[in-house]
Amino acid sequence: YDVEVDLDPAFTVGTVDDRLFGTFVEHMGRCVYGGIFEPDHPTADEHGFRQDVADLVRELGVTTVRYPGGNFVSGYRWEDGVGPVDARPRRLDLAWRSIEPNTVGVDEFCRWARGLGIDPIMAVNLGTRGVRSAVDLLEYCNYAPGTTALADQRVAHGHKDPHAIGTWCLGNEMDGPWQMGHKTAEEYGRLAAETARAMRRADPGVELVVCGSSNGNMPTFGTWERIVLENTYDLVDHVSLHEYYQPVDGDMDSFLTSSEAMRRAIGAVTATADHVAAVKRSRKRMTISFDEWNVWYQSRFPGEAGLDVREGGPLIEDTYSVTDAVVVGDLLMALLDNCDRVAIACQAQLANVIAPIRTEPGGPAWRQSTFHPFALTSRHARGTVLRTEQRGPQLSTGEHGDVPATRVTAVHDPETDELVVLAVNRDRDTPARLSVPLRAFGHGPAPMRLVDHLAITDDDPSATNTPDRPDRVVPRPVTGTDLTDGRLTATLSPESWNIIRLG
């Protein structure tokens, strides 16, 4: 089938915020212990962090990382994780029914992230704690040496320079009955407002993320955001949104078009935030922190209550396929297409736990299939997202109704005139012939030329990467793509995610 797309560098959605390429590290399963941190591993540095994993994190192109949870944060006492390691308490983590050794805490995590050039985003516990502990953590992290006792405690712990954390999450998924210290929207809205007020007094420069819904299917979705934002609108910068996607009852067409649900959720939250703005006569436009998103086969997880109390070890280590990588690539496109309203996005999580990077204890680290669309998008899709006008057939799906079979996202760098065209063919059987007139581009001294076309697609969409075959699923060059007389033409294989670079 044919797909025709119109683009013009003058018609833009917005500028891509670097923080769209964020990730999430939670004290959960083997994300921290046995993931990024494994002191006995042959590649561990003097602080116990695996350098083979650190190399992959660099290659992934992660810009920001949310820490330390997730559900974990709602039972966390941050003070347990600072100071001499051998004096730190072992605690029961109620979220994942695990023993938390507290070997890694805020200081170790921030040193690791900064060492990789990654900006940490810190979540505070508004489940079982409140204003005082949130402000103390902010002061511990951000105050200069010699200013307060908490700042000097950090210095005494060997961290002279402030961690300078700019973005803070006011709790996690407080609408979820599974959350330790779950609250009603009114209760949470009040607590978030008072915490935000106090944190801003401590550091007026911070950006604050207030909890929206845990997903678009929560019974309180929409109402929760309205009430929470009525309480906090002038005090916070972003409202959070979380969504995970998986095939339901084998309906692969609905799964392959999961980004339609993401697009709907973004539209619903921004509409609700804009409603609160209208009622408040506010000119401020709230943005979204989509600080947990991914493919997650939740159907394979027995749930927190089904877990025995454990020392640690694997939890929700999904192995991702070609299909999952195509969906992840499409979800990234949905985030880019909404970059005027989505300021921050964190794929959940980074290592082992529903992650692009997997590890074996004492053994290798490898890239899952989903690593590749993230790495390519983060590396190349920077600049300005363009509005696209797309003409092509619809796909009928059980969950999302009739939706485009192909979606195209275009990111243009006005400085260099480089153009990146991301395209996903969600039709499982039929190739798409893509045609994009580019006459409006390349008016510089040299005409625009095709750089390359890579795709993630496979005769076996269930193929995965394993320690034995870590490169079974990788992006491969596509032949036949052409740029002649100002028109780009390319074939998009069935069930494929594509990145075409022009410059």
> Cα–Cα distances in Å, from 219 out to 2, 114, 214, 238?
40, 39, 10, 22
Distances 288 to 9, 124, 291 between C-alpha atoms, Å: 25, 18, 9
How big is the chain by its Cα radius of gyration, in Å?
23
- Applying CB under 6 A, the span of 69-77, 248-256, 367-375, 419-427 interacting with ligand AHR comes to 69-77
Residue 128: which of 175, 75, 172, 68 has the closest Cα? 75
Among 17, 26, 203, 458, binds ligand AHR (CB under 6 A): 26
Per CB under 6 A, does 63 bind ligand AHR? no
3-state SS string for 440-494: CCCCCCCCCCEEEEEEECCCCCCCECCCCCCCCCCCEECCCCEEECCEEEEEECC
Q: Examine residue 324 and tell whether it contacts ligand AHR (CB under 6 A).
A: no
Contact 29, 316 (CB under 8 A): yes
CB atoms within 10 A of CB 55: 13
Q: C-beta of 325: minimal distance to ligand AHR in Å?
A: 19
Residues whose CB is less than 8 angstroms from the CB of residue 172 and which lie 6 or more positions away in sequence, other chains included: 69, 70, 71, 73, 74, 123, 127, 179, 211
Question: In this chain, which stretch among 63-71, 81-89, 136-144, 281-289 interacts with ligand AHR, using CB under 6 A?
Answer: 63-71
Q: Smallest distance from the beta carbon of 127 to ligand AHR, in angstroms?
A: 11
By the rule CB under 6 A, 23 interacts with ligand AHR = no
> Is 93 a binder of ligand AHR (CB under 6 A)?
no
Annotated active-site residue 260? The verdict is no
- Asked if 207 is an active-site residue, the reply is no
- For β-strands 342-348 and 357-359, DSSP reports them as unpaired
Q: Does 348 bind ligand AHR (CB under 6 A)?
A: yes
From the list 38, 100, 173, 495, the catalytic residue is 173
Q: Does 212 bind ligand AHR (CB under 6 A)?
A: no
Q: Which of 22, 68, 69, 120 binds ligand AHR (CB under 6 A)?
A: 69
Q: Is 240 in the site for ligand AHR (CB under 6 A)?
A: no
Q: Find, among 140, 160, 162, the residue nearest to 149 by Cα.
A: 140
* Residues between 108 and 167 that touch ligand AHR (CB under 6 A): none
Q: Which CB atom, from 351 or from 423, has the smaller least distance to ligand AHR? A: 351
* Residue 105 found at the interface with ligand AHR (CB under 6 A): no
Of residues 253, 292, 337, 495, which one binds ligand AHR by CB under 6 A? Answer: 292
Tell me the window of 47-55, 67-75, 107-115, 306-314 that interacts with ligand AHR (CB under 6 A).
67-75
Q: Could you identify the residue written with the tokens 């877990």?
A: 307
Q: Is residue 253 near ligand AHR by the rule CB under 6 A?
A: no
Look at residues 13, 240, 213 and name the one whose alpha carbon lies nearest to residue 123: 240
Question: Binding residue for ligand AHR (CB under 6 A) from 70, 120, 212, 475?
Answer: 70
* Helix (H), strand (E) at residue 263: helix 259-279
Residues catalogued as catalytic: 173, 292
Q: Residues in the site for ligand AHR, rule: CB under 6 A?
A: 26, 28, 69-71, 172-173, 214, 292, 348-349
